[in-house]
Structure 1
Amino acid sequence: MENVLVAGAHGTTGKHIINILNNSKDYKPIAMIRKADQKDFFNIKNVETVLADLEDNLSQAVEGVDKVIFAAGSGGEKVVEVDQEGAKRLVDASKKAEIKKFVMLSSIGAGRPEKADQLKEYLKAKHKADEYLKDSGLDYTIVRPGTLNNEQGTGKVKVKKELESVGEIPREDVARILVAALQNTTAHNTAFEVVSGEVVIEEALKELKK
């Protein structure tokens, strides 16, 4: 069983990730939290927590960790400090700890932020974080979902390196994709965009190899 650190575990998508990992026979989740009062939510689920801040030293957070999912976000308040530099800081710590795989939650359009009409600064920050991960030498998968919603997941998606248009996708399905990408051979060293679609998640990820 592999230990998976989830940065952003207390967020809406993060909680879905924790639940999926917690019900898995392959992974043990470790919830990275920024505030001590967030512990109770995870204690009830018997999920281990580690107190760490993306704007600070993260070496302790990755101790004993096999793989990492970065699902943190500043909600638009600190895009450079958290979404960009915080992600880079966790990449650095993961590299030192010889993490086996780093799965990054990014955003649709982050591969081409210069074309964005909206959220340009956010997409620039995500782009820089993604490129930093690509250049790190770590095994990685970068997941770039469309607009997130809180509807029940369908387990079916449309995946492409670059989609023609922005669509929506439930957070639950994004969480499933992030967990599926923990497999070493799944979407290996690949960045892709994803929205709701007609193809089962596991099959859609296999299509990326072709």
Structure 2
Amino acid sequence: MRIVIAGGHGRIALRLERLLAGRGDEVAGVIRRPGQAGDLLAAGAEPVVCDLESATVGDIARHLEGADAAVFAAGAGPGSGAERKDTVDRAAAVLFADAAEAAGVRRFLVVSSMGADREPPPGTDPVFAAYLRAKGAADADIRSRPGLDWTILRPGALTDEPGTGLVTLSTGSTGRGAVPRDDVAAVLAALLEDERGSVGLTLELIGGDTPVAEAVKAVAP
């Protein structure tokens, strides 16, 4: 299976690349900076240098040709302003989806955010509010596409604690909670193995007490 990951140098993406390469998948990660290539190679992934903020659909589609699945795990990141939340967390996700459709890649996973399905409450930090709105707009665009077999994953607060392999995964609300990035990557890897059951689902994810494989099977029987 060949999988192309946007935001290939991100902290979730690098973990996912290691998992996928370790099980024998062919993995490529889309990165902005050539200097990040070594980290991807160390994770077992092919580095693909392409700036999603300036690329065209055709530019990205060429990198997606022959892929079995695409994962959007890019983000503007901490320290970025509201404008980049829109250009990366929304516009780049839409562009990556356009490119997947152009390249004939149906399976499409998105790393979104808990809270992206509603208007941020009054008093929310303006930049964080822009981030949630951008994620929500991207999710809505992707859910509208019959040409994609999409799954949207909305984790809670991300941590760098070691993964436990135990999660709470739901098509409804999990309630607020934290989840290690290790476990987010493990859930994404399991969703990529699931061929049909999770298609068309928006899933919330936090730490819990159910093994990842069982949690994915429960929401995608």
Shared fold per TM-score greater than 0.5: yes
Distance 1:72 1:195 in 2: 20
Distance 1:200 1:63 in 2: 34
The 3 A distance-change label for structure 1 pair 116 and 98 is: farther
When the two chains are superposed, the root-mean-square deviation of aligned CA atoms in Å is 1.7
**Match in the other structure for 1:128:** 137
The Cα shift of 1:43 comes to: 3.0
SS of equivalent to 1:4 = strand
- 8 Å contact 2:62–2:103 — kept in the other structure? no
Question: Aligned to 1:200, which of 204, 211, 216?
Answer: 211
Q: Deviations over 1:47-68 (max 9, x none)?
A: 3121111112222221222211
The Cα shift of 1:46 comes to: 4.7
What residue ranges of structure 2 are gaps of 5+ in the alignment? Answer: none
The 3 A distance-change label for structure 1 pair 64 and 117 is: farther
The Cα shift of 1:129 comes to: 0.6
**Match in the other structure for 2:69:** 67
**Match in the other structure for 2:183:** 173
TM-score under structure 1 length normalisation: 0.92
* Number of residue equivalences: 208
SS of equivalent to 1:49 = strand
The structure where helix makes up a greater share of residues is: 2
TM-score under structure 2 length normalisation: 0.88
The Cα shift of 1:202 comes to: 1.6
The Cα shift of 1:179 comes to: 1.4
Distance 1:20 1:164 in 2: 25
Seq. identity, %: 32
Q: Which moved further from structure 2: 165-174 or 111-120? A: 111-120
- 8 Å contact 2:109–2:152 — kept in the other structure? yes
The Cα shift of 1:42 comes to: 2.5
The Cα shift of 1:120 comes to: 2.0
Distance 1:72 1:52 in 2: 12
The Cα shift of 1:45 comes to: 4.7
- 8 Å contact 1:74–1:82 — kept in the other structure? yes
**Match in the other structure for 1:190:** 201
What residue ranges of structure 1 are gaps of 5+ in the alignment? Answer: none
